[in-house]
Structure 1
Amino acid sequence: MGRGVPSSWPAADIVVAAQGGDEASIGALVSGAHPHVRRFAYSLCASSQDAEDAAQEAMIVLYRKIGTLRATGALASWMFRIVRNECLRRVTDMARRSETSAEACTASAEDDVLARLEIERVAAAIASLPADQRRVLIMRDVQGLPGSMVAESVGLSTAAMKSRLHRARTTVRSELDSWNEAAAE
């Protein structure tokens, strides 16, 4: 194969010794299987970084769980299954993350449009008010001025200003309710 890469998987006696917990055999098994696992990961994974990560994960599983391998001849298929599953998990995670961020962008765009539409409706409802009600409503609810200042500014008593403000709010609320009902139909 060239470049010092072994052409076959580690021998069955190394696999058996590794299954029995022999540390030297586990080390030899991991280093002997790594080039094969890495090559397989590069053929399956979407990016070289994912391939490296999947191969590394497979080596960790091999190191930790070699004792659970039932047949020594099944080492290659077991490792390939681990790599395949890790590559698939990475693709699924990436798709889920991009789907979540796309949903967030879509939700934000939809929320922005709905908010702008609602602002336009409120502005239109306020614009349709008689001038004296519109002025009181804008000064009190939009500009946030105190009631006494609004009353003085428009030349009304506080009670008269509150009455106009109430009528303006009721009219705006009624107008918005009728638009919402029409939109629901």
Structure 2
Amino acid sequence: MNQRLPWPDERLIEAARAGDVMSLTAVVMESQPHVRRFALSLCASPQDAEDAAQEALIILYRKIGTLRATGALASWVFRIVRNECLRQVRLLVSRADEASAEPEADAEPSAEEAVLRRLEAERIAAAVSALPRDQRQVLIMRDVQGLPGKVVARSLGLSTPAMKSRLHRARAALRHSLAVTDEVVDPPDAGER
């Protein structure tokens, strides 16, 4: 029987916020399964999920005193996990951009170009993180990390044709998402009708 574990109760959270080390340890331990499950559903790979969960639990331990309301524990920790998963995707996208960039003859990008690149990387990272987990995993493993298709298929427990199909759907969904945000960012002029 698969029972859902409860979140820590409000009295325990309040004691942890007040600095009681035993309560704080209990809050972290009772939150851990929820944090890990959420990270696995959101991050691109199990390793990224483990890293995000660990980071969230460390922040929980260090900063529980800043939690405003005891009832907000779950949303606060989930927001930390989400931000950590997004940070990991941004790092991967940025590394991929750096690896594919053509070295120019000592030309430093202007401040405007640097800001535009960062904004574009954030837009792509947000679009990737919005993909369903199965599509996000295959897209990041194949297109960002550059893993061979057979390795991706084997690590996800898929046949190579199934992996290719999932990758195709992920790329199409990403293109669509980016096209939609392009339209929002750059709407047609009001004079064009």
Whether 1:32 and 2:30 are equivalent positions in the alignment is: yes
Query: Any residues of structure 2 matched to 1:103-118 within 5 Å, and which?
Result: 103=101, 106-107=102-103
How many equivalent residue pairs? Answer: 105
Contact 1:14 1:25 in 2 (8 A): yes
Cα distance in structure 1, aligned partners of 2:103 and 2:15: 57
Deviation, structure 1 residue 107: 3.2
Question: Secondary structure, in 3 states, of the residue corresponding to 2:103?
Answer: helix
TM-score, length-scaled by structure 2: 0.52
Give the structure with higher Rg (CA): 1
| Structure 1 partner of 2:73 | 75
Segments ≥4 residues shifted beyond 2 Å: none
Cα deviation code 1:114-134 (max 9, x no counterpart): xxxxxxxxxxxxxxxxxxxxx
Contact 1:6 1:32 in 2 (8 A): no
Corresponding letter in the other structure for 1:31: M
Cα distance in structure 2, aligned partners of 1:84 and 1:8: 21
Corresponding letter in the other structure for 2:17: Q
Cα distance in structure 1, aligned partners of 2:33 and 2:41: 12
| Structure 2 partner of 1:91 | 89
Corresponding letter in the other structure for 2:43: C
Question: Secondary structure, in 3 states, of the residue corresponding to 1:107?
Answer: coil
Identity of aligned residues (%): 59
| Structure 2 partner of 1:23 | 21
Unpaired segments of 5 or more residues in structure 1?
111-185
Corresponding letter in the other structure for 2:65: G
Cα distance in structure 1, aligned partners of 2:4 and 2:17: 21
Corresponding letter in the other structure for 2:97: E
| Structure 2 partner of 1:102 | 100
Higher relative contact order, structure no. (Cα contacts within 8 Å, ≥ 6 residues apart): 2
Cα deviation code 1:121-163 (max 9, x no counterpart): xxxxxxxxxxxxxxxxxxxxxxxxxxxxxxxxxxxxxxxxxxx
Cα deviation code 1:30-68 (max 9, x no counterpart): 000010000000000001000000000000000000000
Cα deviation code 1:84-118 (max 9, x no counterpart): 00000000011001110111xx338x9xxxxxxxx
Query: Any residues of structure 2 matched to 1:95-174 within 5 Å, and which?
Result: 95-103=93-101, 106-107=102-103
Whether 1:51 and 2:49 are equivalent positions in the alignment is: yes
TM-score, length-scaled by structure 1: 0.54
Cα distance in structure 2, aligned partners of 1:27 and 1:107: 50
Give me the CA root mean square deviation.
Answer: 1.7
Contact 1:14 1:29 in 2 (8 A): yes
Corresponding letter in the other structure for 2:49: A
